[in-house]
Amino acid sequence: MRDEPRSGCAINAAVEAFGDRWSLIVLRDVIFGGRRHFRELLSRSEEGIASNILSSRLKALVAGGLLTRENAERGRRATYSLTEAGIQTVPVMAALGSWGMRHRPTTPELTVRARLLEDGGPPLWQDLMDDLREAHLGTPRPHPDRPRAAELLRAAYERAQAEAH
């Protein structure tokens, strides 16, 4: 990632922060897959990311302020956490998923979360961001009586996976 953006355009600034498609995929896997360790991100990637690419993207996302990396003691796994900026990519992910469902070939089991996010709209996005704040930043959810959005999305994904197989 560059220190100085190529221009003052807000879209350019966002594109430079995300870096490339692999960075978005890594963020997706942290947000929706709950993957917070290098090996989880590597071995459970649907797209088959290479270890050197994953390593460079994690470093770039940390440098760009979208993730933090908790330094682990020797022999322990480092944990990656979303920052507030990373959490606020949820609406971007929802918009990308909606666009992808309409304009690119997809599969039902891998599109189920995008459909739920589209149908649930901003209220569901906010609930998911609240779930992520609790999990990654330790901030209690403002509405603990509501069902967890992250659990709703996970369960729908698992049902779709089971139906596909």
Query: H/E element holding 105?
Result: none
Same domain, 115 and 136: yes
Q: Which of 83, 116, 147 is the last residue of a domain?
A: 83
Q: Which residue has the tokens 């929706």?
A: 32
Nearest to 138 by CA among 64, 82, 86, 93: 82
Q: Which two tokens stand for residue 79?
A: 């944990």
* Residue where one domain finishes, among candidates 25, 54, 83: 83
d(CA 56, CA 66): 14
Considering only CA atoms, which of 160, 162, 165, 157 is closest in space to residue 31? 157
Q: In which band, very low, low, confident or very high, does the pLDDT at 56 lie, cut at 50, 70 and 90?
A: very high
Confidence of residue 5 (pLDDT cuts 50, 70, 90): low
Q: Are 79 and 97 within one domain?
A: no
Q: Within a domain: residue 76?
A: yes
pLDDT in tens, 90-132: 999 999 999 999 999 988 888 999 999 999 999 999 999 999 9
Task: Please report which confidence band the pLDDT of residue 20 belongs to, taking 50, 70 and 90 as the band edges.
Answer: confident
> Is there a domain that residue 2 lies in?
no
Predicted local confidence at residue 15, as pLDDT: 82
